[in-house]
Amino acid sequence: MIRKKVQARASRHGETAAHYLVAGVPRARPEQTAGEVLAALSGRHYDCVDCLCLIDDEDRLVGVVPFARLLATPSERRLQDEIRPQVPRVLPDVDQERVASVALHHGLSAVPVVDRSARLLGVVPSGALMHILRREHVEDIHRLSGIGRETHRAREAIESPPLCRARHRLPWLLLGLVGSMLATLVVAGFEDALASNIAVAFFIPGLVYLADAIGTQSEAVAVRGLSLSHAGLGQLIGGEMRTGLLMGLTLAAIALPVAWLAFGSWPLAVAVALALVCAGAVATSIGLLLPWLLGQLGTDPAYGSGPLATMVQDLLTLLIYFGAVQAIVV
């Protein structure tokens, strides 16, 4: 069901393999020799010459031969001996981002497109793959900033009317406003801890900033990495959590003596260090898990970053910090 929703959304916006498909590609039979094929191709025009597609008698894709290999093949050698078997292929309704992912993962300069009977329809050429990667990159930058879906005017954001710019940016910022109100309520809930030691408040901005910075790094990696990586979710989250713990331990080792020397309180310094360690692990996990969750719901993973993830990370960081203060300082 989720896959169908994603494909339907892609079709509405022309973001499928079929949108970039070119049918004029060199084709040959596996039993032909390299010399025969080169002679047959000479003087003919093709829409894409990134690879030679080998097909059977029913036009089903058998494999591909890169043109660099074809030119280096002895003229009497049959193509079936040079074939790249099990070449990845996509259906015409596959999302463009998946097409680019297949090309990168398998080192292809062009991605074959087949119908459901495996008959060759054409390829998505290298120029189109570059366009797809550029477009996805721009859209991710917009969404990381909390800006809506890229449109023609959004691409020219610096020249767009102020009302248009505001319309693209405000929705997620309004969610961020709600998050800031919740953060205020969290801080107010620990009024006694702040009253007993005012120095507790001095570390809030630094902790929140560091957690946001760690989370933003994970979000930037996750937004594109989730579509390109073939590793399991558990492996990805485990790696990010260990990375967050390592960064948190490093920051805590630096902050611990500084906080103690500045305020002369070991309990407070330990609470700050503990909050850094825990917030680092949580921020990296949220930065990966939230885009994955939205992706599973049929929403672009990039929407899980920016103001939404920042709001969640801020709230969790404050709760972690004040929890440590309550347990150690107060």
> Whole-angstrom Cα distance, residue 215 to residue 285?
8
Q: Structure pTM?
A: 0.56
- 18-124: CATH number: 3.10.580.10
Give per-residue pLDDT as tens, 45-89.
Answer: 888 888 888 888 888 998 888 888 888 888 888 888 877 667 788
Task: Answer for the pair 274, 199: CB distance below 8 angstroms, yes or no.
Answer: no
Calpha distance 64→226 (Å, rounded): 28
| pLDDT confidence bin for 7, thresholds 50/70/90 | very low
Give the least confident one: 25-29, 275-279, 287-291: 287-291
Q: When comparing pLDDT for 149 and 256, which is higher?
A: 256
Q: Please list, in sequence order, all residues whose beta carbon lies within 8 angstroms of the beta carbon of residue 116, skipping any fewer than 6 positions away.
A: 91
For residues 255 and 321, give the distance between their C-alpha atoms in angstroms, rounded to a whole number: 14
For residue 142 the two structure tokens come to 């917009």
- Range 174-328 classified under CATH 1.10.357.20: yes
Q: Edge-to-edge strands of the sheet including 51-55?
A: 27-28, 51-55, 61-66
| Cα 24-115-295 angle, rounded to 5 deg | 110
Closest-CA residue to 193 (of 252, 275, 255): 275
How far apart CA 172 and CA 221 sit, in angstroms, is 20
The angle that helices 307-328 and 204-228 make with each other, rounded to 10 degrees, is 130
Q: Are 319 and 186 in contact (CB under 8 A)?
A: yes
| CA 216/CA 308 separation, integer angstroms | 11
Residue 158 confidence (pLDDT): 54
Q: What is the pLDDT of residue 321?
A: 93
Residue showing tokens 């899980």? 304
Higher local confidence (pLDDT), 159 or 69: 69
Whether the per-residue pLDDT at 298 is higher than 50: the answer is: yes
Chain segment 205-216, per-residue pLDDT in tens: 999 999 888 887
DSSP-H helix ranges across 190-265: 191-196, 204-228, 233-263
186, amino acid identity: V
Q: Could you give the CA distance from residue 320 to residue 268 in angstroms, rounded to a whole number?
A: 14
Domain boundaries, the chain: 18-124, 174-328
Q: Answer yes or no: is pLDDT of 146 > 80.
A: no
